[in-house]
């Protein structure tokens, strides 16, 4: 596909800002509201922000790595960008929707392209009850927290907590405990993408817990409901030689 209107965006880091200046001098730049593709310069964290910013616009995002890890990013090169965009492949992602209810009764809704996570706020371990599609599956999980991740997010925080890495095309999400104390041998679950997960916090005042959807955090929650939000999708573009599926497979065998 030919992309004629490019909006360049970059993180605040100097390396990304230098790349932004160089690309703007070589290619025509338009506002994001007028673009048919966004080129994001930075790391994976900035790529997430760019994808979130363009969720409702449904504009594809092509990332070039000017950050640290850059798992979701393509290699940075200034030359041949138009040809690379035309030859790029697309990964269509559905975010997760988090509805978090706090001790005060307020409900906060947020979307996550990578994961929804719950973490203890104090020295005391969290005590959580897990329900899947209204069926209680775990009366009490004692842990530091729990992560529910999309395939795109399975290589991020989920992987660092020893959760499974999921192929991009799989219609599933991963649930992974963080430092589970009891049941000690529980390593998590793979859930259908259309499953609705509800996690209730036991003793929320004594054992406070926070919830986060990517970078949106809610403190002092009593319950969190998570589902795949198929009403919205976002598109990530990548070079054929930088195949996202291949990177996910490779990640599982790297040590």
CATH number of the CATH domain containing 41: 3.40.50.10330
Whether 105 and 161 map to the same domain: the answer is yes
Classify residue 1: in a domain, yes or no.
no
Q: Counting Cβ atoms within 10 Å, is residue 12 exposed (0-12), middle (13-18) or buried (19+)? A: exposed
Classify residue 210: in a domain, yes or no.
yes
pTM of the model: 0.87
Whether 64 and 125 map to the same domain: the answer is no
Whether 221 and 150 map to the same domain: the answer is yes
pLDDT score at 100: 98
Distances in Å between the Cα of 131 and the Cα atoms of 140, 178, 196, 197, 224 are: 11, 18, 8, 6, 10
pLDDT score at 214: 94
Range of the domain at 42: 6-93+233-251
Classify residue 88: in a domain, yes or no.
yes
Distance CA 27, CA 65 (A): 18
Kindly state the percentage of the chain with pLDDT values over 90: 78
Classify residue 209: in a domain, yes or no.
yes
Residues 6+ away with beta carbon under 8 Å from 139: 129
Return phi, psi of residue 32, to 5°. -60, -35
The pLDDT confidence band at residue 255, using thresholds 50, 70 and 90, is low
Q: State how many domains the chain has.
A: 2
Residue 150 near residue 112 (C-beta atoms within 8 A): yes
Q: Which residues pair with 210 in a beta bridge?
A: 119
Q: What is the pLDDT of residues 90-105, one digit of tens each?
A: 988 899 999 999 999 9
CATH classification at residue 112: 2.60.200.30
Of 44, 133, 203, 239, the active-site residue reads 44
Residue 41 near residue 9 (C-beta atoms within 8 A): yes
- Catalytic: 44? yes
Classify residue 56: in a domain, yes or no.
yes
Q: What is the pLDDT of residues 14-29, one digit of tens each?
A: 999 999 999 999 999 9
Whether 62 and 105 map to the same domain: the answer is no
Q: Which residues pair with 101 in a beta bridge?
A: 107, 223
Whether 189 and 143 map to the same domain: the answer is yes
Classify residue 44: in a domain, yes or no.
yes
Counting Cα atoms < 13 Å in the Cβ hemisphere of 184 gives 0
Whether 84 and 134 map to the same domain: the answer is no
If you write DSSP's letter for every residue of 107-150 in order, what string do you get?
A: EEEEEESSEEEEEE-SSSPEEEEEEETTEEEEEEEEESEEEEE-
pLDDT score at 31: 94
Whether 153 and 193 map to the same domain: the answer is yes
Distances in Å between the Cα of 239 and the Cα atoms of 116, 117, 245, 251 are: 28, 30, 12, 18
Whether 184 and 86 map to the same domain: the answer is no
Classify residue 136: in a domain, yes or no.
yes
Whether 78 and 33 map to the same domain: the answer is yes
Q: What is the pLDDT of residues 107-160, one digit of tens each?
A: 999 999 999 999 999 999 999 999 999 999 999 999 999 999 999 899 889 999
Whether 101 and 214 map to the same domain: the answer is yes
- 65: three-class secondary structure by DSSP: strand
Whether 89 and 101 map to the same domain: the answer is no
Q: What is the CA radius of gyration of the chain?
A: 19
Q: Residue range 204-232: average pLDDT?
A: 96
pLDDT score at 238: 92
Whether 220 and 103 map to the same domain: the answer is yes
């Amino acid at each position: 596909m030919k992309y004629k209107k490019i909006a360049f965006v970059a993180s605040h880091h100097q390396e990304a800002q230098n790349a932004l200046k160089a690309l703007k001098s070589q290619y025509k730049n338009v506002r994001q509201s007028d673009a048919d593709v966004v080129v994001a310069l930075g790391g994976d964290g900035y790529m997430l922000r760019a994808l979130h910013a363009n969720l409702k616009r449904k504009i594809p995002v092509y990332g070039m790595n000017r950050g640290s890890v850059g798992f979701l990013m393509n290699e940075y090169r200034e030359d041949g960008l138009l040809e690379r965009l035309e030859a790029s492949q697309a990964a269509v992602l559905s975010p997760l929707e988090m509805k978090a209810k706090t001790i005060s009764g307020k409900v906060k809704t947020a979307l996550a392209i990578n994961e929804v996570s719950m973490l203890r706020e104090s020295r005391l371990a969290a005590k959580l009850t897990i329900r899947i599609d209204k069926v209680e599956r775990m009366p009490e999980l004692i842990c530091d927290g729990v992560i529910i991740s999309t395939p795109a997010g399975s290589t991020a925080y989920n992987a660092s907590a020893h959760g499974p890495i999921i192929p991009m095309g799989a219609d599933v999400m991963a649930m992974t405990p963080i430092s589970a104390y009891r049941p000690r041998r529980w390593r998590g679950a793979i859930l259908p993408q259309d499953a609705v997960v509800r996690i209730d916090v036991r003793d929320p005042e004594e054992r406070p817990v926070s919830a986060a959807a990517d970078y949106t955090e809610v403190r002092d929650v009593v319950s969190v409901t998570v589902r795949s939000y198929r009403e919205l999708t976002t598109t990530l573009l990548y070079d054929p030689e930088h195949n996202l599926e291949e990177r996910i497979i490779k990640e599982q065998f790297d040590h």
